[in-house]
Amino acid sequence: MALLPIIQPDNPTLRQKAVRVSSFGPELQKLIDDMVDTMTAAPGVGLAAPQVNVSQRLIVVRLSDDEESKKEHGEEAGKLYVVANPKIIKASRDLVEGVEGCLSIPGWVGTVMRHEEVVITGQDRHGKDIRIKARDWLARVFQHEIDHLDGRLYTDIAEEMWRPDERDEDGEGDPT
């Protein structure tokens, strides 16, 4: 496995609509493994292929598995989600405000309104159809990563942006 460089907004790949994954062969499997390693090392809770300069509709998501996360997220804590061609097919009407960061925009966080619950369809790493119901923090992470596949950054929809070191502990968010 290899750690991949995470690109920043000056790279045009972050603003392009990513292409559909059509082949689930060894090349994709290596990319998935490298993305998981990169996300973990960063550290982050989500990573989209465009963030590592690969314009494909592929995301990896894993919430922290520390004790606090286990209490808050239950069985979702530490579970790895690999989703090719993810699509939100259902979203709750309820929107919630939360703090987000991004591995492609280091040093900044912002408040973003997101759907409290979403249902996502796509394929797993082997091309098998999957369906995921997500709520709260997991739903936020999926929405953030899927936005990357459409060339949208959280900074495009953030209500407020700041550097975490300029605020107290309550102003920090996990980078995604």
Task: Give, in order, the Cα–Cα distances in Å from 14 to each of 8, 67, 118, 151.
Answer: 7, 34, 23, 5
Tell me the whole-structure pTM to 2 decimals.
0.91
Active-site residue flag, 160: no
Delineate the domains of the chain, giving CATH numbers in brackets.
12-171 (3.90.45.10)
The span from the CA of 136 to the CA of 101, in Å, is 16
Choose the catalytic residue: 27, 100, 145, 172: 145
Coil/strand/helix, residue 165: helix
DSSP structure string for 36-54: HHHHHHTT-SEEEGGGGT-
Query: What tens-digit pLDDT sequence spans the chain (176 residues)?
Result: 799 999 999 999 999 999 999 999 999 999 999 999 999 999 999 999 999 999 999 999 998 888 887 787 788 878 899 999 999 999 999 999 999 999 999 999 999 999 999 999 999 999 999 999 999 999 999 999 999 999 999 999 999 999 998 765 554 555 55
